[in-house]
Amino acid sequence: MSYYNRETADKMRHFLEQDMPRYMDILYDMVGINSYTLNPSGINHLADYTADIFQSLGFDDQRVPSTDCSYGNHLVLGRNGQKPITIGCVSHLDTVFSPEEEERNNFHWRIEGDRIYGPGMEDIKGGTVVMLMTLEALRHAAPELFAAVSWTLLLDASEETDSVDFGELCKQRLGVSALGCLIFEAGIIRGADYYVVTSRKGRAEIRIATEGKGAHSGVSHKKGASAILQMADIIRKIESITDYTQDLTVNIGRISGGSQINRVPHFAEAHAEMRAFSPSIFEDALSKILALDGYSSVASAAGGFSCRTSVELVRRVPAWPDNPGSRRLHSFWESAGELLGLSVHLEKRGGLSDGNYFWEYMPTIDGLGPSGGNPHCSEHADDGSKEQEFALRSSFVPKSVLNAMAIIKMIESASPAQEEG
């Protein structure tokens, strides 16, 4: 028996629309729990609440401590299926908003028309609710398929700052035999055009320091060597690596240096990031940046001292390029879109997600959450120049139905060999 038909989709849509008040109540509760990355008690509170919600679907829960004790616990929800078919779903618990920022900007649940504002509304509590809606729609309209699958849901405690240990956790719990890993970050909807994410840029974070020679700026200027001048030169070199034709960007995001304006500055520091989709372009650009370690072009006019530069790789997140596994998953969403009268497009996204850490290990697709806007923004201005993060209420049901139908297509298209693991 095949569930891949309009009748199943209509049954899902009717079910979800009737239950929308309950889903919005759940989202309201989630948004009301501050889960700033550095608020582990809030993270763990949200994990408890989320585990209770998914318990009604038959999921057991487990907490996995982050490797960094300043973060909360990762949440793993599992449900064993009747056949050896595994599908993973990923969201995260944390947001970028501290309790103080939420209070300062009066950033709380607020509804204006189709927009629902609130901390993490788009990134990513709305996505967790769409995950719930997708699974409940499957259980309601395709119960045998839902029961056949072994589901593993993984929610990261520290996605906004560091996902290295969570990426390893996903690999361990899902394994290479998983049909796919589905990530519920927000996804763009424009009319009948829906976008899912199949690749993301990798990111390197770099620290640059320059050492100069201090001197009195009026009495002995020529004896000094300006660390800021040296920094300005190396910034120019690093920023010039940007190449839009290769989707390669380098950005100096923060800089500091010197002490007094009557002193030739003896020290300066900058922090930069580099992003690219292609692993080879990523590695080549990173090599060019790191090769500037030891660079010197500024010396004291009186001679005897040359500035010194150090370039240090602080953190790297691997690129998630275009790849056959993600494209194959997109084909299921594309097919489901055609069934529903929608066009589902590929999106390459510059921002990071947990998928950067495991796309090569298992087929991965992203952007399965609701449509919204202004992620990471808590500010509001009456003139409209600033607006807070929001999700569109009207996007929850259609996105969940699309996801559920694509998952049905994915399961029913699995070969016997895949089903046997």
Q: Where are the domains of the chain?
A: 6-201+320-419, 202-317
Is 6-201+320-419 assigned to CATH 3.40.630.10? yes
The candidate with the shortest Cα–Cα distance to 141, out of 3, 1, 337, 23, is 3
Q: 247: phi > 0 → left, psi -120 to 50 → alpha, else beta; which?
A: left
Show the tokens assigned to 316.
Answer: 């790297």
Q: How many whole angstroms from its chain centre is CA 381?
A: 26
pLDDT at position 419 is 41
In the Cβ-directed half-sphere of 365, how many Cα atoms lie within 13 Å? 29
Residues recorded for the chain: 421
CATH code that applies to domain 202-317: 3.30.70.360
CB 303 within 8 A of CB 222: no
Strand-pair partners of 89: 153, 182
Contact yes or no for 42/97 (Cβ under 8 A): no
Topology match between the domains 6-201+320-419 and 202-317: no
User: What is the mean pLDDT of each successive set of 10 residues along the chain, which is 421 residues long?
Assistant: 95 98 98 98 98 97 96 97 94 97 97 97 97 98 96 97 92 93 97 98 98 96 97 97 97 96 97 97 97 97 95 96 97 98 97 95 97 96 94 98 98 63 39
- CA dist 287 and 283 (Å) reads 6
By the 8 A CB rule, do 129 and 194 touch? no
The pLDDT score that the predictor gives to residue 163 is: 81
pLDDT of residue 42: 98
Residue-level pLDDT at 417: 40
Where helices occur in 75-226 by DSSP H, the ranges are 99-104, 126-141, 143-148, 164-174
The answer to whether the CB of 217 falls within 8 A of the CB of 229 is no
Starting at the earlier edge strand, list the strands of the sheet with 110-112: 110-112, 115-117, 390-392, 372-373
What pLDDT is stored for residue 175 in this prediction? 85
Residue 203 tokens, joined: 């990111």
Using CB atoms within 10 A of its CB, is residue 23 exposed (0-12), middle (13-18) or buried (19+)? buried
* CA-based end-to-end distance of the chain: 22
d(CA 133, CA 146): 13
